[in-house]
Structure formats: structure tokens, C-alpha cells
Amino acid sequence: MIEIRKYSNQAGYTEPRRVIRYTLFWCQSGNAEILIDENIFIMAAGQVVTITSGQFHQLKSVKGEVTALEFTLDYFCKSDNDIELIFHNGLFCHFGMNEMIAIQNPSFFTETLNVIEKEIQEQPYQYLISTHSMVELLLVEINRNKIANGDEIWKPDALFLKFLESVRDHFQDNYQVSHFANLLGTTEAKLNEISKLHTNKTAQNVIYSLTISEAKRLLLYEKLTVKEIAYQLGFNDPFYFSNFFKKHTSRSPKEYQKAVKEM
């Protein structure tokens, strides 16, 4: 539901891991090396990075102090405002746009994470409410710093975010946009409208983008054949999947797999 881990001058995870939780890494001092999907990031003191649920990541090494905060969607998202806050300004972005964000008030960040850790350990009355409020404060602080660092304000629509979550939960079913509209109690036209507003893509092309991102993760981190990945992503024909992947990445699945692993 919600968990905190601390790392100090040590090796991190032994291999990339995938959790269906939203993860925040905070570098309090020194630096840390983190793999997120196929990209390596070096965190410096006073920086934070957010990782969306389902992304593969590996904290490779820590030379200093790093805190990891993880929480589930069910724990945090009690309302549309909560789900919009998670993705405000691209935080926990589904499209693999991870970034190091500099925090101007690092003591606030460290102290708040320490209080959250204490609440989780001691579990006083209504601790889930108090920790929820403190996670909100951390996300607001990150957003304020992104704006102070020159980012434009980007406020997502809760329906769009529910659409993204629903796509991720149903890759194997190969649903059409109309089916997602029915699941979400809306219309295909509305999903196209909000998709174009947020990404300048149709809802179908948003599905394609998420499917490609998932295919890349499975190719890199799961011991599956291309045929098995195709079936897992709702393709009945592995050859069609390979053509689909090449159309969107300019590489076949095997070529992509080889190129990234040689980097």
C-alpha cells in the first residue's frame, strides 16, 4: 500500500524490478545511479525522480543517501483530484518521460519522508490518512519546483488517466477504443477528444504508444520469445506484431533487443 526504503553507500537492487506501484526516489546526499526502462540516470543530492507503476527500474548504486517511497494507486487515489495530482506536470508519466527534478527546499523533502517512515512503522490511529496528506505535500512540492525550474503547467484530466490505466490493465485483451469507452462510462468521441488534447494523438494511437512501451519492457526484461510477447499483448499473429513493432520503432523486435543490450 505504502512503503519506504532507505539506502546508504551501498549497492542497490541486484537486478531490474517491476512493481505495480508508483515509486519516488529522493537523493538526500551524494549521488545514485538508476536504470529506468532502457535509460540510465545519475541522481545528485537534492534531486528526485518519479517512476510510474509498471516501469522496470533498478537502483544500481548509492554513494550517499537515497530514500525510495512506493505507494499503490488504490492507496493514493481516493478521488479524481488525487489521480490528477499523481500525473500533474508529467509526474509518474505513462510514456517513459522520466527526469531528474531539482528540489529547492531539500530539508522539507527529507523531513517529510522521515515523518512518513515513522508513521508507517508505528501505525498510529488514522496513519493512512496522515501519510496520504504528506505524499500530497511532496507531490505539490515537486510540481512547484518544476514550475520554478521553467516547466509549463500541464494539468491532466482524470478520465484520460483512467483510460491510460485501463489500457495498461488490458493489453492481452486487445480492446478497441469503443470497448474502453464502455468500461469507463464515456464515449469513443470523448476519449479521442481528451487524447488529442493531452498528446495530440487519437485514442487508438495512445493505445499503440502504450503497447510499444510495454513491448520494449518485455523484450528487455522478461525471458519471453517474440511469439510469447505478441500473444501477451493481444496479437494473434506474431508476424503481424513484428511488423507493428517495426512500423513504430523502425526496428524489428530482435533488432531493438540486440541494440539496447549492446549499449
Residue 153 covered by a domain: no
Q: Are residues 144 and 168 in the same domain?
A: no
209-to-205, 213, 229 alpha-carbon distances in Å: 6, 6, 16
List the domain range (segments joined by +) for residue 254.
Answer: 158-261
Confidence at residue 188, expressed as pLDDT on a 0 to 100 scale: 97
Distance CA 32, CA 10 (A): 10
Q: Are 26 and 113 in contact (CB under 8 A)?
A: yes
Confidence at residue 86, expressed as pLDDT on a 0 to 100 scale: 87
Nearest in space to 203 (alpha carbons), one of 169, 185, 179: 179
Q: Are residues 136 and 7 in the same domain?
A: yes
Confidence at residue 71, expressed as pLDDT on a 0 to 100 scale: 96
Residue spans of the chain under pLDDT 50: none
Q: Are residues 74 and 14 in the same domain?
A: yes
Nearest in space to 13 (alpha carbons), one of 35, 46, 28, 45: 35
Confidence at residue 65, expressed as pLDDT on a 0 to 100 scale: 97
Q: Are residues 75 and 55 in the same domain?
A: yes
Q: Are 77 and 88 in contact (CB under 8 A)?
A: no
Confidence at residue 263, expressed as pLDDT on a 0 to 100 scale: 62
Q: Are residues 11 and 121 in the same domain?
A: yes
Confidence at residue 145, expressed as pLDDT on a 0 to 100 scale: 94
The pLDDT tens digits of the residues spanning 73-109 come to: 899 998 989 988 988 888 887 777 899 999 999 999 9
CA 220 to chain centre: 17
| pTM over the 0.75 mark | yes
Confidence at residue 6, expressed as pLDDT on a 0 to 100 scale: 95
Q: Which of 83, 116, 148 is the last residue of a domain?
A: 148
